[in-house]
């Protein structure tokens, strides 16, 4: 039962804030999984993959996307794990005029095993941000694999006793200390997460009923005092409003009940908040549930469009999961390309969508070593055959992928 609750949360979090949906004690046909076995298998894959050698490679005849345009054909050097500048001694590979993109970044996903990671890598996702870490050991077992995406990991999601997410946390961990009962509990909760998990960022849950505004505000404030960013789940208009008022750094998902107002958009912009709307998950959920009251993809799309037009930074995130028995499953890897297409549908240009999947998430999370193709940066690279500035679907035409200088699949 504990593992069923955990899996249900990891792969069904988008809708958990909606009053009519939650992962109960019997989550349909969701299959439980064995966390210790996953950890062991993930860790055993690490020494096998670490034998892949670094090579010095000169990628000839490639057209680099520099963030503003596609440059004329040139040579890019991969020197160990980094992009180099000295061609001497390099093995030459003909890029055949393909477009070289920075590695793609999924700013919201839920991988648990090496197969998930391999699918991400296969489709050019070189960094992934894991958005719910109930098991520190499991999330850590996904790190430091050669030719697989590097990962950033969240805290245990902060939630209230009796809330949908709070019930999931208890079902997954049997640890009531992970719940937050008002502002007085915030300092000890923050400190326990830092001591036990030391997450890359904190995950907070805005939902009704759930944490009140004062508690959400204090969580964000205390996270900032320790130099950590706050990522807040919000899937309804009321929850989204709470997230904006909390001054959290990132708001994930977009409301499926009502689009947000121009006044709220203005507040987000003034506060420097960032949106990861996970339109792929929102669309999949709306399609699966059909005309169910309160779930409307048009609301999520219009919110994203308003945010973009106002200048609020938008990142690509998919909520990727493959677990049966949840409202909507989203495949790893291919969904990042779905998200690019959804963002273009929401009004972003092809260039803006590519930036939302490369340099913008890198900078938003303080990853200064990736997101652009420059000497000294990580050699996270994706070679595609077609021009994505002409058609964003050309990002799917993947010819080769390198992560940390090692070619995926070799």
Percent of the chain with pLDDT over 90: 79
Query: In the structure encoding, which two tokens stand for residue 66, read together?
Result: 């520099």
Residue 290: pLDDT over 90: no
Give the Cβ contact number of residue 297 at 10 Å.
17
**Most distant CA atoms of the chain, gap in Å:** 63
Residue 15, pLDDT > 60, answer no
Given a contact cutoff of 8 angstroms between Cβ atoms, the answer to whether 405 and 80 are in contact is yes
Q: What per-residue confidence (pLDDT) applies to 143?
A: 94
Cis geometry, peptide bond prior to residue 209 (ω within 30 degrees of 0): yes
Tens digit of pLDDT for each residue in 225-235? Answer: 999 999 999 99
- Outline where 315-369 has alpha helix (H): 334-345, 350-356, 359-364
On whether the CB atoms of residues 209 and 229 are closer than 8 A, the answer is no
Identify the pLDDT of residue 221. Answer: 98
For the chain, count helices (H), then strands (E): 14, 15
Mean pLDDT, all residues of the chain: 90
More confident residue, 41 or 16: 41
198/168: higher pLDDT: 198
Question: What integer is the mean pLDDT of 85-105?
Answer: 97
DSSP one-letter string for 85-124: S--TTPEEEE-TTPEEEEPEEEEEE---SHHHHHHHHHTT
Domain with CATH 3.20.20.140 in the chain: 2-50+100-406
Count CB neighbours of 126 within 10 A. Answer: 27
pLDDT of residue 324: 63
CA-CA distance, 264 to 303, in Å (whole number)? 10
The yes-or-no verdict on residue 21 having pLDDT over 80 is no
**246-260 pLDDT tens trace:** 999 999 999 999 999
CA distance 351 to 68: 7
CATH superfamily of this structure's domain 2-50+100-406: Metal-dependent hydrolases (3.20.20.140)
Give the model confidence (pLDDT) of 158-181 as tens digits: 999 999 889 988 887 889 999 999
Rounded to an integer, the average pLDDT of 103-130 is 97
Phi and psi angles of residue 73, each rounded to the nearest 5 degrees, phi first: -55, 140
User: Are residues 128 and 120 in contact, defined by beta-carbon separation less than 8 angstroms?
Assistant: yes
The model's pLDDT over 67-90, given as tens digits with 9 standing for 90+, comes to: 999 999 999 999 999 999 999 999
DSSP label at 368? T
Q: Dump pLDDT digits (tens) for 391-400.
A: 999 999 999 9
Predicted confidence (pLDDT) at residue 291 exceeds the cutoff of 70:
no
- Strand pairing category for 398-403 and 406-407: antiparallel
Q: Look at residue 184 and tell me whether its pLDDT is greater than 70.
A: yes
DSSP string computed for 293-329: TT--HHHHHHHHHHHHHHT--B-----BB--TTSS--
| 6 pLDDT more than 50 | no
This prediction's pTM? 0.92
Gap between the Cα atoms of 241 and 265, Å rounded: 10
Query: Which position has the token pair 């790190």?
Result: 143
Number of Cβ within a 10 Å radius of residue 285 = 27
Split at pLDDT 50, 70, 90, the class of 1 is: very low
CA separation for the pair 253, 15 (Å, rounded): 10
111 close to 75: Cβ distance less than 8 angstroms:
no
Q: Which residue has the higher pLDDT, 323 or 379?
A: 379
**3-state class (DSSP) for residue 13:** helix
* Cβ–Cβ under 8 Å, residues 17 and 236: yes
Tokens, residue 303? 């919110």
Which pLDDT score, from 0 to 100, does residue 352 have? Answer: 98
Retrieve residue 132's tokens.
Answer: 């719910």
> Which band of pLDDT confidence, cut at 50, 70 and 90, is reported for residue 295?
confident
- Three-state DSSP class for residue 380: coil
Both tokens of 364, joined, read: 């938003």
**Of 88, 86, 127, 123, residue with least CA distance to 106:** 127
Does the pLDDT at position 142 exceed 90?
yes
Q: Do strands 74-79 and 56-64 pair parallel, antiparallel, or not at all (unpaired)?
A: antiparallel
User: How close are the terminal C-alpha atoms of the chain, in Å?
Assistant: 39
pLDDT given for residue 326 in this prediction = 62
* pLDDT in the model for residue 277: 98
CA distances from 21 to 134, 172, 224, 225, 290 (A): 21, 18, 32, 34, 14
Whether the CB-CB separation of 284 and 329 falls below 8 Å is answered with yes
Query: SS3 helix, strand, coil % of the chain, rounded to 5?
Result: 40, 20, 40
Question: What pLDDT is stored for residue 55 in this prediction?
Answer: 86
């Amino acid at each position: 039962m504990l593992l069923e609750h955990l899996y249900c949360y990891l792969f069904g979090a988008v809708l958990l804030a909606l009053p009519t949906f939650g992962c109960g004690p019997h989550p349909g046909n969701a299959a439980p999984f064995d966390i210790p076995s996953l950890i062991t298998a993930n860790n055993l894959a690490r020494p096998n993959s670490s034998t892949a050698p670094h090579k010095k490679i000169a990628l000839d005849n490639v057209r680099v996307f520099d963030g503003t345009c596609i440059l004329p054909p040139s040579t890019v050097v991969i020197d160990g794990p980094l992009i180099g500048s000295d061609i001497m001694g390099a093995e030459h590979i003909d890029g055949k005029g393909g477009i070289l993109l920075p590695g793609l970044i999924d700013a919201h996903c839920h991988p648990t095993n090496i197969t998930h990671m391999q699918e991400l890598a296969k489709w050019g996702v070189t960094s992934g941000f894991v958005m719910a870490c109930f098991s520190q050991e499991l999330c850590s077992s996904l790190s430091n694999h050669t030719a697989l995406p590097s990962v950033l990991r969240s805290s245990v999601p902060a939630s209230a006793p009796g809330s949908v997410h709070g019930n999931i946390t208890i079902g997954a961990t049997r640890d009531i200390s992970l719940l937050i009962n008002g502002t007085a509990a915030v300092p000890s909760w923050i400190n326990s997460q830092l001591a036990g998990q030391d997450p890359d960022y904190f995950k907070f849950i805005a939902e009704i009923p759930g944490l009140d505004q004062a508690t959400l505000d204090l969580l964000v404030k205390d996270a900032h005092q320790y130099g950590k960013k706050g990522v807040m789940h919000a899937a309804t208009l009321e929850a989204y409003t709470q997230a904006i008022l909390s001054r959290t750094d990132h708001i994930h998902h977009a409301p499926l009940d009502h689009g947000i107002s121009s006044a709220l958009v203005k507040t987000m912009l003034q506060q420097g908040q960032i949106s990861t709307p996970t339109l792929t998950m929102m669309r999949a959920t709306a399609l699966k549930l059909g005309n169910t009251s309160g779930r409307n993809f048009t609301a999520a799309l219009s919110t994203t469009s308003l945010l973009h037009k106002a200048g609020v930074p938008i990142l690509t995130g998919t909520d990727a999961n493959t677990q049966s028995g949840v409202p909507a499953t989203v495949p790893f890897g291919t969904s990042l390309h779905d998200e690019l297409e959804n963002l273009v549908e929401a009004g972003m240009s092809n260039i803006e969508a590519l930036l939302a999947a490369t340099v913008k998430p890198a900078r938003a999370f303080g990853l200064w070593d990736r997101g652009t193709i420059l000497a000294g940066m990580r050699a996270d690279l994706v070679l595609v055959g077609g021009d994505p500035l002409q058609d964003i679907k050309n990002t799917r035409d993947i010819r080769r992928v390198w992560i940390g200088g090692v070619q995926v699949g070799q």
